[in-house]
């Protein structure tokens, strides 16, 4: 066929979907236990939301967004991340007037025009959580603990939690100056993106994936050494809270979220098990995001967790995913009247909660049995003229070949046992 899926997108079929269902159900379950409630926001938003919310100097806004003009002349963007839309919705619906904090989770597709690689797609999927309305480090530690416990529950060992502080608008300028001074002699060696970052937002250079830039910043001044008293206190509190939660972590001064709206806590869960794209979950605090998008000061903290990378990591850890439910009862039929009888029975079984199937190709009986075997059916029932006349059905256990005769109206009770 000439028309193919777009580069960087993936189709998911039933042979894989049970993995997705498993992580989705598990994520909803842990969010429940931690008191986070689901929020759903639209797939597209005004472009301006991301320009302000993610930030003009980020890779996302500069070169990764799927932006287009709609027929009404509005600039629309498919959401590249979930925090700004959730914050936008929170402000729009005045939820800051509720008892705070507000704790949300989401499960969304994200769109970024990137160079597709293993673990890096143009349409990918994220779980995320956000706590709005508190600047206490309890919230940050709770967000991190949820990520930690979720990854553990998903059976992925060998993942490291790294934390850092990116300071605040008060202390960051000192670091910015020191960083520029440090980088200046080697400015010419920086990659083109980082040359631009040098002017707009030099802290992001610490996060560059190019080897040269990584080498240049090896001994660069780090934000964590420039924190003001308030940010230092917050970081100490974060560490104490994590220790109380018994969460293991490592301080990594290179982790950045380089915008003025991002403050204090930054963290990542990182692994080397799935190749180069090793950050499975990343997050942090953004105390000035809502000032930026909605002129209201509401602090917040959250994370985004890539579902594709999570599933890859689970596969690398040889996690056993729960298998999808097999066909419980297969009804085979011989003849036209038996077909209608079977359809009637099929619906009764399905309404009673069984995964029941028949052959919608109406093959001959041999073909139907072959199909029942392919479906791995646990029990089969054959309907023919004599079953219709007598109302007595024969249920065959496909594994043991044992056969039980039962009155038609007692079939459901028998199967329930």
Any contact of residue 279 with ligand ATP (CB under 6 A)?
A: yes
Selected range binding ligand ATP among 117-125, 222-230, 321-329, 387-395, rule: CB under 6 A: 117-125
- With a CB cutoff of 8 Å and minimum separation 6, the contacts of 321 are 18, 19, 22, 314
**Residue whose token pair is 């308030």:** 230
CB of 147 to ligand ATP, least distance (A): 10
Residue (303 or 333) nearer to ligand ATP, CB: 303
Residue 182 backbone phi and psi in degrees, to 5: -65, -40
Q: Reduced to 3 states, what is the DSSP secondary structure of residue 317?
A: coil
* Structural tokens at position 206: 């610490």
CA–CA distance, 83 with 67 (Å, rounded to integer): 18
Rg (CA), the chain: 28
Per CB under 6 A, 114 contacts ligand ATP: yes
Q: Is 357 in the site for ligand ATP (CB under 6 A)?
A: no
Of all residues in the shown chain, the one whose CB is closest to ligand ATP is 306
309 is a site residue for ligand ATP (CB under 6 A) = yes
Q: What distance in Å separates the CA atoms of residue 86 and residue 389, rounded to the nearest whole number?
A: 62
Q: Which of 34, 62, 109, 120 binds ligand ATP (CB under 6 A)?
A: 120
CB 239 within 8 A of CB 181: no
Residues 253, 258, 282, 294: which binds ligand ATP (CB under 6 A)? 282
CA distances to 293, 343, 386, 387, 406 from 391, in Å: 69, 15, 8, 5, 9
DSSP output for 207-264: G--SHHHHHHTTT---GGGG--HHHHHHHHHHHHHHHHTT---EE-TT----STT-EE
CB 281 within 8 A of CB 268: yes
Return the H-helix or E-strand segment holding 31: helix 14-34
Task: Determine if 130 is a binding residue for ligand ATP (CB under 6 A).
Answer: no
Residue 180 sits in the site that holds ligand ATP (CB under 6 A) = no
Is residue 304 a contact residue for ligand ATP (CB under 6 A)? yes
Taking the complex as a whole, how short is the minimal distance between the CB of residue 307 and ligand ATP, in angstroms?
8
Out of 130, 135, 140, 308, the residue judged to bind ligand ATP by CB under 6 A: 308
Question: Near ligand ATP by CB under 6 A, which window of 157-165, 300-308, 343-351, 380-388?
Answer: 300-308
Query: Rounded to the nearest whole angstrom, what is the least distance from the CB of residue 298 to ligand ATP in the complex?
Result: 21
> Which among 40-48, 118-126, 130-138, 364-372 is the span making contact with ligand ATP, rule CB under 6 A?
118-126
Nearest approach, Cβ of 279 to ligand ATP (angstroms)? 4
Q: Does 112 participate in binding ligand ATP (rule CB under 6 A)?
A: yes
Residue 286 in contact with residue 308, Cβ under 8 Å?
no
| Among 113-121, 210-218, 291-299, 377-385, the segment contacting ligand ATP (CB under 6 A) | 113-121
Q: How far is the CB of 108 from ligand ATP (least distance, A)?
A: 11
Phi, psi angle pair for 334, to nearest 5°: -125, 110
Largest CA distance in the chain: 94
In the complex, the smallest distance separating the C-beta of residue 236 from ligand ATP, rounded to whole angstroms, is 25
Pick the closer one to ligand ATP by CB: 300 or 306: 306
Q: Binding of ligand ATP at residue 147 (CB under 6 A)?
A: no
Range 70-99, binding ligand ATP (CB under 6 A) = 81
DSSP 358-403: E-TT---HHHHHHHHHHTT-SEEEEE-HHHHHH-EEEEEETTT--E
Smaller CB distance to ligand ATP: residue 111 or 288? 111
In this structure, what token pair is assigned to residue 312? 């890859």
Site membership for ligand ATP, residue 339 (CB under 6 A)? no
Binding to ligand ATP by CB under 6 A, coded x per residue (else -) over 228-267, reads ----------------------------------------
- Considering the rule CB under 6 A, would residue 142 count as an interface residue with ligand ATP? no
Contacting positions for ligand ATP (CB under 6 A) = 81, 112, 114, 119-121, 124, 126, 277, 279-282, 304-306, 308-309
């Amino acid at each position: 066929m000439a028309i193919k899926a777009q580069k960087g997108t993936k189709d998911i079929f039933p042979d894989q979907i049970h993995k997705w269902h498993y992580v989705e159900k598990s994520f909803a379950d842990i969010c429940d236990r931690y008191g986070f409630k689901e929020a759903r926001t639209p797939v597209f938003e005004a472009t301006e939301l991301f320009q302000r919310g993610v930030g003009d100097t980020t890779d996302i806004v500069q070169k990764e967004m799927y932006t287009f003009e709609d027929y009404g002349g509005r600039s629309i963007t498919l959401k590249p991340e979930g925090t700004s839309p959730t914050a936008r919705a929170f402000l729009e619906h005045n939820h800051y007037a509720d008892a705070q904090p507000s704790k949300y989770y989401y499960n969304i597709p994200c769109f970024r025009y990137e160079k597709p690689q293993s673990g890096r797609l143009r349409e990918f999927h994220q779980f995320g959580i956000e706590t709005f309305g508190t600047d206490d480090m309890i919230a940050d530690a709770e967000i991190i603990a949820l990520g930690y416990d979720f990854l553990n529950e998903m059976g992925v060992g060998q993942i490291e939690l790294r934390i850092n502080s990116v300071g605040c608008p008060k202390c960051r300028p000192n670091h910015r100056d020191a960083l520029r001074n440090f980088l200046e002699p080697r400015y010419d060696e920086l990659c083109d993106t980082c040359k631009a970052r040098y002017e707009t937002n030099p802290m992001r250079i610490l996060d560059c994936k190019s080897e040269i830039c990584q080498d240049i910043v090896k001994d660069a001044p780090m934000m964590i050494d420039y924190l003001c008293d308030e940010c230092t206190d917050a970081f100490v509190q974060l560490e104490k809270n994590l220790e109380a939660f018994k969460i293991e972590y490592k301080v990594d001064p290179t982790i950045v979220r380089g915008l003025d709206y991002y403050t204090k806590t930054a963290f990542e869960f990182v692994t080397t098990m799935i190749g180069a794209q090793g950050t499975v979950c990343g997050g942090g605090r953004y105390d000035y995001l809502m000032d930026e998008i909605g002129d209201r000061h509401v602090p917040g903290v959250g994370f985004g967790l890539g579902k594709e990378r999570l599933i890859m990591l689970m596969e690398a850890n040889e996690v056993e995913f729960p298998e999808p439910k097999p066909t419980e009862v297969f009804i085979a039929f011989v003849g036209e009247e038996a077909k209608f009888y079977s359809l009637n029975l099929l619906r009764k079984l399905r309404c009673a909660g069984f995964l029941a199937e028949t052959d919608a190709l109406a093959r001959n009986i041999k073909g139907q049995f072959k199909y029942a075997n392919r479906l791995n059916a646990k029990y089969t029932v054959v309907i023919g003229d004599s079953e219709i006349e007598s109302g007595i059905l024969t249920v065959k256990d496909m594994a043991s070949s044992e056969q039980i005769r039962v009155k038609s109206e007692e079939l459901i009770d028998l199967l329930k046992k």
